[in-house]
Chain A
Amino acid sequence: GQNIDQPTEMTATEGAIVQINCTYQTSGFNGLFWYQQHAGEAPTFLSYNVLDGLEEKGRFSSFLSRSKGYSYLLLKELQMKDSASYLCAGTSGGSYIPTFGRGTSLIVHP
């Protein structure tokens, strides 16, 4: 499986922009997922990147650099409800089964 690394915790201000980084092993890499998980709830799918570049979905965007083993999730116009854990998950090898990072807890304050 993958070796996923992401920061444990981040804080940001309502209305601001925040970037959550994720690094992974490039060997055998297929693609990278981002999920959002509110406390005590199930993770929900945000994005999947397989090609280099930025993909935008409303206030959320996800970026991938395959050569650098690096991805980030960009959240714009932060809202209080964006306070959650953000999980990065990479797939590699022939099975395409994702390995999850430990998650980044984002705290949005007024």
Chain B
Amino acid sequence: EAQVTQNPRYLITVTGKKLTVTCSQNMNHEYMSWYRQDPGLGLRQIYYSMNVEVTDKGDVPEGYKVSRKEKRNFPLILESPSPNQTSLYFCASSKQTGNYGYTFGSGTRLTVV
């Protein structure tokens, strides 16, 4: 089944403790992206990747890192999480940018206390 797999689905952590949210797609998509979704603010892009070893900042990149060493994986790293990073996170992929719709992962609900 074609899908984007995110893990974990839920995570509660403490301020400053490094964490990684994994994202993997099995569709050989070139384009991958991370979004956060907060009430009243909609989906905001954190980072995106056009292909392997090509990443770029989205609208809200502060406090996050990403890497794209393989085509299928695009992990999101929070080196020192803070409470304002409490949010619902979505990974998404598409064949390319342009007129290709995204396939989204199931989401990761992160709480930083």
B10 shortest CB reach to chain A, Å: 11
A38 shortest CB reach to chain B, Å: 12
Q: Once the chains are docked, how many angstroms separate the CA of A41 from the CA of B102? A: 14
Q: How many A-B residue pairs have CB under 8 A?
A: 53
The interface stretch among A13-21, A42-50, A55-63, A74-82 is A42-50
Residues of A within 8 A of B99 (CB): 31, 48, 50
Could you tell me if B41 and A44 are in contact, using CB atoms closer than 8 angstroms?
no
Give the bracket for the number of chain A residues in contact with chain B: 20 to 34
Could you tell me if B97 and A42 are in contact, using CB atoms closer than 8 angstroms?
no
Could you tell me if A87 and B43 are in contact, using CB atoms closer than 8 angstroms?
yes
Q: Once the chains are docked, how many angstroms separate the CA of A35 from the CA of B42? A: 12
Chain A minimum-CB-distance residue to B48: A97
| Binary CB contact string for chain B from 18 to 46 against chain A (1 if under 8 A, 0 otherwise) | 00000000000000010100001111110
Known: A100-B42, A102-B41. A42 touches B107 (CB 8 A): yes
Chain B minimum-CB-distance residue to A89: B43
Most A CB contacts (10 A, CB to CB) among B45, B102, B107 go to B102
Could you tell me if A42 and B105 are in contact, using CB atoms closer than 8 angstroms?
yes
Known: A41-B106, A102-B41. A96 touches B98 (CB 8 A): yes
